[in-house]
Amino acid sequence: MAIKPQVLAAISGAISAYLAQEEACQAAAAAGVGAAGPGPALNLWSLAGRQEAMQLRLLMQRRSLR
């Protein structure tokens, strides 16, 4: 079955547009365009509190399974 020239042209045009868009996105990422600024400061107190709560739950689960 032969592919119509119009369909073939539409497919090749879509592929070339997609490749051009991907190359532009990669070039922008390499140049740092749209890079997010530094994230929020790391709160070590809240991280330690969450870790302690998780450890307490783990210990309670182990205790209850005995």
Per residue of the chain (66 residues), what is the pLDDT tens digit?
788 999 999 999 999 999 999 999 888 888 775 556 677 787 888 888 888 999 999 988 888 765
**Total-model pTM:** 0.46
Alpha carbons 28 and 22: distance in angstroms, whole number:
10
Q: DSSP secondary structure string, 13-33?
A: HHHHHHHHHHHHHHHHHHHTT
* Domain ranges, ordered by start, for the chain: 1-30
Alpha carbons 25 and 32: distance in angstroms, whole number:
11
Helix, strand, coil percentages for the chain (3-state, nearest 5): 75, 0, 25
Alpha carbons 21 and 14: distance in angstroms, whole number:
11
pLDDT in tens, 41-58: 878 888 888 889 999 999
